[in-house]
Structure 1
């Protein structure tokens, strides 16, 4: 493991001190470290909230597992960030079909987290202990960075000062020689604070290959990763503050065969200005520097067949949102945002059938994308702040461009090459949403919403082919943006204090959906298909009964592909289960031991567009128990997949990968 570059991070601390107000400032300063308050119309879109307690009670300690509490959340494959190829970790909702890119906009403190080249989410760098709350909104999004939220939005907020102990640490040892160590320190600095945290985890890994398919070259899915995060918040005035965040991470994994190693790296930084005065302001800027490498091993000769040795990418963006004072009945939001992404792929192909394993071709591909948007949204409460009816509506216009796309291939032996330069493209997209929330009384609230949205194909989808034996998936530079239209209605019930129930019915239509389309038995290509239509029902329930808390989520999604003339017309999109459910029971008294148990169910789904490769249904049970010891020391036991369910994560003509088997952890945590 590389040493954490803490000195480089600490370099920034003096700049925070300089931002402190002058001594003797009579204004009362309260630093929150949070963003602006949510507009009153937010509940009209049926969000699900995961609180900090639940984030800390994950048996795996991974954010993607916690997001599984929201039925309908899925990645391209069922693997978590210890055994999945990072480039396959796109997030989506509502069974809109899977490819590796994220159809859901994932934000951390307002910053889009998707990789600039691939569009996947770096889940291993998003540590639950660093978060305050997660809000999942299923359905098209608008507002800042709304381009890309075709399946919804997942908003992650960093933990605030009151949630962070001055010092915290934990250490765990688990099955298959796995270790996980984390620590954080959060000192006050003037009227602000700084929080520095880090986590390192590694493990020998489990066998992702079924026992009857293993060969001499088969190895467990070993992993080794670290991340470190610096967050600093400093007041500027009684109503405004500046927030700075920097995250560094590296993640190494081995998949299936010896030598099939991949690595992902990132260096992210953002600065945000919040003003809660009469004219409220939320302005931020960010930069992301990412890289990815991957070695593909032949499943017949077990020699290197492809070395995707370098995929550097850069993301730069920002937004300015204003909330002018327009009276108590309205919360008006106006703003602009911009996202720029560029990336290159460098890879070498090898002759795996030769004992010398010589290089055959060297390839270089890449391009750029730019999205610039302007948005306006208003939440109107006709009866004033305490009114029962809230109407909300928004509109945004985006100018997008795809440029400088190219693909080069040169023979490693003769030097003869081929070259393709792709035409630049640009256009405008207009999207919007509208919703209504009516609180009939304290126990019943009715809501409805309609929305539209779009997502640009990623540079990965446009220019990078990939191989997962025995399938080669080709890129497609001619891909056009996906466009979503959708509507939903819902009801929220609070029959008794501490008990809440929610039901939502929805219909979503994704036109020009990007899918991996089968061309031959061993070849697929990314293509726009006519449309995917998903209809369904989502149910959630929460109950707090003293020290006992129960929560549950269920999603029924009937999703169909409309592609006249194609073999998959009328079939279910790949990676789209019809049923998904999650239930958690937690016992958390004010003193003494605590226990939390989670059951999850996902119905069968299909690996491919032709429904020829089935991923069987799976039921898993996780649990975590805490026993307070002396002082602030707690003994913690965690268990993943306690029933040792066989979870098939990939099936290509019978060649399978498996998900996490039973995994047990024991450790201690300290917080003061």
Structure 2
């Protein structure tokens, strides 16, 4: 029944749009596109986002925009923390990139399940930033100081950004206009636990083009992830050191065509709070883009990604007084490359094609005995997708806007391997998995009705899909005493969704957006518990007593329904108030070996989440107070381990002390609340960042 309702809604909207295609061609000589304003969670000002290959306005999903001021006034100064103001948007873990394991930072929306791989498309100026091997996001590679805005679209309707956004999309936009940058800007801050943060930016207009060089650095002695009352001799601080560098050049080839080239790199070193738990990540990205904005607008883009990671894992004794290595993931190289082409033969019509190709393998030393590895493993492969899309958007009079988009993708998996052998000895496993390929269609349709000057109704229906990552397909791994087997037979995830909402703006400075949605993620990939140790199990070997044998599997589905509210209010000319809330009713649909999970809540999905932000912007002083709430959620798929809800409070005060200098005082988690990031079966907690205070100085020359 639900599938029939979805297909009927999509057919009605899409059919209406197809019927309007001739009118779209006629309308090119007159009429302008409606000025569609997404809700901003930071303030009451109107925001129009220009980014990607060509300027676009999309009505098919609920959009939330974080503007430049919001990104730069977050208490931590980090992009991933600013994104916490978008209710319903979450990483796999509650901790951020200073203490979380790099592989736990997949992004999702609308309660579509906890997963290390991102169920959103994450783009920086139209270029994918997710890891080619595992799909997680290396947040230390992205500096908030050089971003102009972030646009979050909830729901799987964004088809022009490529496949993968079954939960939505996160689009990060650089400040491309040289006038947005000072000639030189820099900042230096010192914080709790000997934390140091520094960033700098130099930009210049050079003839018919411009150039920019930006860098960032941050380090800290770190905090203890384990609470004081649970610590033993094995517990230590979790220090980190992170750096990023970006160079960008833009040149106008003629009055309508510009060329942009970007080269960036990053380094990220973290420790998880015990010996043998260090991780090191590094990467470099390059992209070249041509954009023509003449009578026939078009854009073309090529990009490449290089990634390298190493990571250690440890087992801590029950009394937490000793620790032993369990896995040395000593080399994880990965590459990604691709491109996109887009053209607008009509103002209302966009045609495009894109492709992304990834490869990678994890090389590991494991099965430690007396502190030394006894076995070696190599697991990885190659993946590729190529697709084409069309998007049509048309105003019908001055009250109605219709939009439809469709795309067709071809995917291919090849070179999949799992090789295991004794250290310096014979082979244990030598699996070479067969090639697989397939076709995936997806589509979306949307309608927007402006009832009055301040009231707009909207609705949408959509489908989208995500290919399993190389990590999900081919690499087995362990967490503590649990062992998780890979599954090279995983199918793509496929989402269908519908939503309806309203946007209310009764007067300037007041905005409210409310959305009801229903999504069904068919074939959702999850780690399914199959048996308890002790025993030997396929794909992982021996699992000790107290451990669980799991395998990545396609569930029947994850069903998610809910409501999202976003509001902003200007309180006079200087004060602003922003609020966001998400209610998520999500449950697993499972049968067969996964039947014990049926009707349970997906792991890492809270029912309630919200954020409230009060801002002040004076002539020489500005301030921010932000409260964030995340409800209780389950750590595990069997809903046995509960993570407590958490309410945190952040603040920032900045004062301009001269034409060039500004001083800032920032505080994170001012109440020093224990935010549970993980919890073991025995009740051992790993917490997110405790109270952290920063004192900083910023300098700028126009």
TM-score by structure 2 length?
0.88
**Alignment match, 1:304:** 325
Q: Which aligned pairs between 1:212-611 and structure 2 lie closer than 5 A?
A: 212-300=229-317, 301-324=322-345, 326=346, 330-352=347-369, 354=370, 357-383=371-397, 387-519=398-530, 520=532, 521-545=547-571, 546-565=573-592, 566-589=595-618, 591-611=619-639
**SS of the counterpart of 1:610?**
coil
Alpha-carbon deviations, 1:430-486, whole Å to 9, x = none?
001000111112101110000000000000111112222132222211111000000
Tell me what 1:120 maps to: 136
Contact 1:142 1:396 in 2 (8 A): no
1:130 maps onto 2:146 in alignment: yes
- Residue 74 (structure 2) pairs with residue 58 (structure 1): yes
The answer for unaligned runs of 5 or more in structure 1 is: 1-31
The 1-side partners of 2:503 and 2:245 are apart by 39
1:257 Cα shift? 0.6
Contact 2:50 2:56 in 1 (8 A): no
Q: CA deviation at 1:35?
A: 4.2
Aligned to 1:617: 645
SS at match of 1:67: helix
SS at 1:242 equivalent: strand
> What do you get for the CA RMSD once the two structures are aligned?
1.4
Mapped to 1, the partners of 2:376 and 2:421 lie a distance apart of 5
Work out the CA distance in 2 between the residues paired with 1:615 and 1:650.
Answer: 7
Q: Answer whether contact 2:159 2:464 (CA < 8 A) is retained.
A: no
Among candidates 658, 662, 671, match of residue 634 of structure 1: 662
SS at match of 2:59: helix
Query: Is this contact kept in 2: 1:563–1:569, CA < 8 A?
Result: yes
Q: 1:346 to 1:317 in 2, by over 3 A?
A: same
The structural deviation recorded for 1:622 is 0.5
CA pair 128-297 structure 1, distance change in 2 beyond 3 A: same
Q: Which residue of 1 aligns with 2:678?
A: 650
Residues in 2 aligned to 1:669 and 1:138: alpha-carbon distance in whole angstroms: 34
1:38 CA drift (Å): 4.1
C-alpha deviation, 1:36, in angstroms: 5.3
1:153-232 equivalent positions in 2, closer than 5 A: 153-160=169-176, 161-232=178-249
Runs of 4+ in 1 over 6 A off after TM superposition: none
Q: For structure 1, which segment, 486-495 or 301-310, has the greater mean C-alpha deviation from structure 2 after superposition?
A: 301-310
Determine helix, strand or coil for the equivalent of 2:655: strand
- Alignment correspondent of 2:166: 150
* Partner Cα distance (2:106, 2:373) in 1: 31
Partners of 1:466 and 1:636 lie apart in 2 by 43
Return the alpha-carbon distance in structure 2 between the equivalents of residues 390 and 446 of structure 1: 11
String of CA shifts for 1:332-369, please: whole Å, max 9, x gaps.
110110000000111111424x2xx2221011111000
Contact preservation (8 Å) 1:142, 1:432: no
Q: Secondary structure at the match of 2:556?
A: strand
Q: Is the 8 A contact 1:599 1:620 kept in 2?
A: yes
Q: Distance in 1 between matches of 2:220 and 2:146?
A: 22
Report the Cα offset of residue 37 of structure 1.
5.3
How far the C-alpha of 1:44 sits from its partner, in A, is 4.0
Query: How far 1:286 moved relative to its partner?
Result: 0.3
Structure 1 residues 268 and 33 mapped into 2: Cα distance closer, same or farther (>3 Å)?
Answer: farther
Contact 2:268-2:280 within 8 A present in 1 as well: yes
C-alpha displacement of 1:306: 1.1
Render the CA deviation track for 1:251-276: whole Å, top value 9, x for unaligned.
Answer: 00001212310011110011111111
Matched with 1:26 is none
Kept in 2: contact 1:206–1:222 (CA 8 A): yes
SS in 2 for 1:64: helix
Secondary structure of the corresponding residue to residue 587 of structure 2: strand
Q: CA deviation at 1:129?
A: 1.0
Q: What is the CA deviation profile of residues 79-122 of structure 1, one whole-angstrom value per residue up to 9, with x for unaligned ones? A: 10000000110000001111100000001000111100010011
Residues 33/581 of structure 1: CA separation in 2 closer, same or farther (3 Å cut)? closer
Aligned residues: 629
Mapped pair 1:89 → 2:108: no
Check 1:422–1:35 CA distance in 2 against 1; reply closer, same or farther (3 A cut): closer
Contact 1:143–1:394 under 8 Å retained in 2? yes
Query: Structure 2 stretches of 5 or more lacking a match?
Result: 1-48, 533-546
